[in-house]
Structure 1
């Protein structure tokens, strides 16, 4: 279940470096199965416990892009929020996420170009306080002045 944090829009005029937002979500078997269906990535390391037990992970793991999708949720729903358009996203996967893990996803504004409505943000996901994903996003933020 997602945290009950405010959703909506922070316009570029309201943003400051250091502003951050987050959400938390337990990754379920159903999430992994739905992501496999949507993405068509049916790698058995995600879906087959017997197969995954024989890998370096010693069990099933969630798709990395499923975890990264939580970053997208923070950006699209909270910071900057509705009307935001992705320009780029870098990701580095540090550790696996397993079914049942509570993932904490956080985004923090690091740079603002108000003239071009561009915002850079540091992003990370963590499980039990350990970072499992780090990256940087660049987006076009909504503006009151430019609609």
Structure 2
């Protein structure tokens, strides 16, 4: 059982922070493009990326932003809303750390969270604000068995 899942079983509250890290490869973008059908040439064509003033092809923003779902899946977060601000491109080979912070949780398990995704240089690439529902006692008991 992961640290994130263990904390969830104990119960989540405002101020809980979780971190995950991932390095993105070109193959990730190719797979995401096939699934999402987002074939924007900025992800596939060096010339197009250069014309947009990027130093190379970039990862899909939602692919990188999807790191939030790694945390959300571990804690059993049922999302009701997500807002993203894409601040910098992510290039193939970049290592991104997602810091997910529960900012508010009420007695009905309604919650808010913020996520900050930064690259290996400490530059923020994405900011996100989330709303959702945390697992209650019954769901946490099930998670404890896995």
With the shorter chain as reference, the TM-score category is 0.7 to 0.9
Map residues 1-147 of structure 1 onto 2, 5 A cutoff.
Answer: 6-8=3-5, 10-11=8-9, 14-77=11-74, 81-82=75-76, 84-114=77-107, 116-127=108-119, 128-145=121-138
Gaps of 5+ in 2: 141-146
The alpha-carbon deviation at position 111 of structure 1 amounts to 0.6
Higher helix share: 2
**Cα deviation code 1:67-96 (max 9, x no counterpart):** 11001111212xxx13x2110011101110
| Runs of 4+ displaced beyond 4 Å | none
Calculate the aligned-residue CA RMSD, in Å. Answer: 2.0
Gaps of 5+ in 1: none
TM-score scaled by structure 2? 0.86
**Cα deviation code 1:70-125 (max 9, x no counterpart):** 01111212xxx13x2110011101110000000101100111112x2111011110
TM-score scaled by structure 1? 0.85
Matched length: 138
